[in-house]
Amino acid sequence: MNEYELPIRPRRNRRTAAIRALVRETRLSPAQLIYPLFVHEDAKDTPLDSLPGQTRWGLDGLVTEAARANRLGIHAVVLFPKVPDGKKNPTGNEAFNPDGLIPRAIKAIKQAVPGLTVITDVALDPYNSDGHDGIVREGVIANDLTLGVLCQQAVMQARAGADIIAPSDMMDGRVGAIRDALDDDGHQDVAILSYTAKYASAFYGPFRGALDSAPKAGDKQTYQMDPANIREALREAMLDESEGADMLMVKPAGPYLDVIAGLRAATDLPLAAYQVSGEYLMIRAAAQSGWLDERAAVLESLTGIRRAGADMILTYFAAQAAEWL
């Protein structure tokens, strides 16, 4: 006989794997993952030193990887270009070149994998010789001057076949401006996934190495958000929703689970979270050193982001996680 008579035993619901699966509150599936893919002008696929396990793809390799992701059950990719220095200038004009790398990449993927959702990044840092998301004038990021270029970039991407436009620049008013530009050009069905709460984070370093897009001078704290703030994120969400955003995003994800939860409570729009390069690299490095079980740590981290309220997750682990799931 038990020494204690306990009428309530929560452990009954944990007794077997099958029971645990029945009562599981948060589900993770490949369909909830978005796979970031890097692309460059070179035909050769190049492993990334700053992101071990990731690749900067040529167009052929990009299409092959996109098709593999689709077979794994990942139905959305987001594209990031490595632009040669010779094509960069202070106004980022290459960002809206209809014959540029990103429109060619969109068309190639759409032709080979027509059912795959293609998301495109709207910002000037890959194209701007200053390395900033906006145009620099006398050491200041010129918000309103930048909006016109972002609109041209978004329209060009929509014309090339992008399904979702994702402005990551954090300029004020860019969601409304891009929505108007897309609608005026006949792209009413192209959605906007806004980087609503993009923080001036220390976790972006490996990504900037992959794109060679670090600022040449200064930092991004005048337009990306202060990591100490959450009420500001709620204000940004309210503004983006009022300007016509279809989906919102929090970036980074892991250190900002409270922000994800706060936005989830404040909006009915679909919510994304970006598990960024620094988060990826910390898990990879610890696993390669033998201190973490990579599979268990990855799936736990992604489940935590989902539990906080994210409907979809951008992660460099997308293909691996899809295989494990």
Residue pLDDT, tens place only, 75-124:
999 999 999 888 999 989 999 999 999 999 999 999 999 999 999 999 99
**Residue among 75, 23, 61, 37 nearest 322 (CA):** 75
Instruction: Provide the residue type at 227 as one letter.
Output: P
* pLDDT score recorded for residue 56: 95
* pLDDT score recorded for residue 131: 82
Query: CB 104: neighbour CB atoms within 10 A?
Result: 17
**Quick check: 193 and 164 in contact, CB under 8 A?**
yes
Q: How confident is the model at residue 208 (pLDDT cuts 50, 70, 90)?
A: confident
- Peptide bond before residue 90 is cis, with ω within 30 degrees of 0: no
Please state the rounded mean pLDDT for residues 11-35.
95
Q: How confident is the model at residue 230 (pLDDT cuts 50, 70, 90)?
A: very high
**The domain defined by 28-324 carries CATH number 3.20.20.70:** yes
* pLDDT score recorded for residue 28: 96
**Structure token digits, residue 268:** 């009915």
| Selected catalytic residue, list 87, 88, 110, 198 | 198
Q: How far is CA 28 from the centre of its chain?
A: 17
Domain limits, the chain:
28-324
Residue 251 annotated in active site: yes
* pLDDT score recorded for residue 211: 67
Q: How confident is the model at residue 257 (pLDDT cuts 50, 70, 90)?
A: very high
**Structure token digits, residue 207:** 């990504």
| 278 to 40, 256, 275, 311: CA distances (angstroms) | 21, 13, 8, 21
| 123 to 76, 128, 191, 304: CA distances (angstroms) | 19, 9, 16, 29
What is the bridge-based pairing of β-strands 140-141 and 164-167?
unpaired
What is the bridge-based pairing of β-strands 140-141 and 136-137?
antiparallel
Inform me whether the pLDDT recorded for 1 exceeds 60: no
Query: CB 23: neighbour CB atoms within 10 A?
Result: 9
Q: How confident is the model at residue 26 (pLDDT cuts 50, 70, 90)?
A: very high
* pLDDT score recorded for residue 2: 59
Q: How confident is the model at residue 72 (pLDDT cuts 50, 70, 90)?
A: very high
* Phi, psi torsion values for 120, nearest 5 degrees: -120, 145
> Mapped to the 3 state alphabet, what secondary structure does 213-244 carry?
CCCCCCCCCCCCECCCCCHHHHHHHHHHHHHC
Q: pTM to 2 decimals?
A: 0.94
Largest interatomic CA distance in the chain: 81
